Structure 1
């Protein structure tokens, strides 16, 4: 997985791939490669969202403890 990617970068590249597929601008020979890349990008996005969710949960728990 490519940790250097931000969520925004990965999502934008994914959107470009989807747009190219929808426009029919991808040759059949490139289609498998693009689909594999899209899968990698989805994995990156999911990992970033999961990590963000975990951080939010930690912060909420910390705030709850401070308010007790």
Structure 2
């Protein structure tokens, strides 16, 4: 997998490929290559999203440990 890509770069290239396929701008001879590339770009995007989700989860767990909820505060209003 190509880790040099940012999510934005991979997603933009993927959008270009999809658009070209939808409009018929890709010759049939290149279609397989473009679909293979699109698959790789999808994997890059998925990996970036998974990594981001894991980082957010870690941060949320850290915040919860630093500031545990006070059950009594939840019932007071």
TM-score bucket of the superposed structures, by smaller chain: over 0.9
Pick 1 or 2: higher relative contact order, CA cutoff 8 A, min separation 6. 1
Partner of 1:19: 19
CA RMSD of the aligned region, Å? Answer: 0.4
List 4+ stretches of structure 1 deviating above 2 A: none
- For structure 1, list consecutive stretches of 5 or more residues without a partner in the other structure: none
Per-residue deviation, 1:56 = 0.2
Q: Higher helix share goes to which structure? A: 1
Decide which structure has the larger Cα Rg and report it: 2
- Residues 5-60 of structure 1: per-residue CA shift (max 9 Å, x gap): 00000000000000000110000000000000000000000000000000000000
Tell me how many residue pairs correspond in the alignment.
68
TM-score (norm 2): 0.87
Partner of 2:36: 36
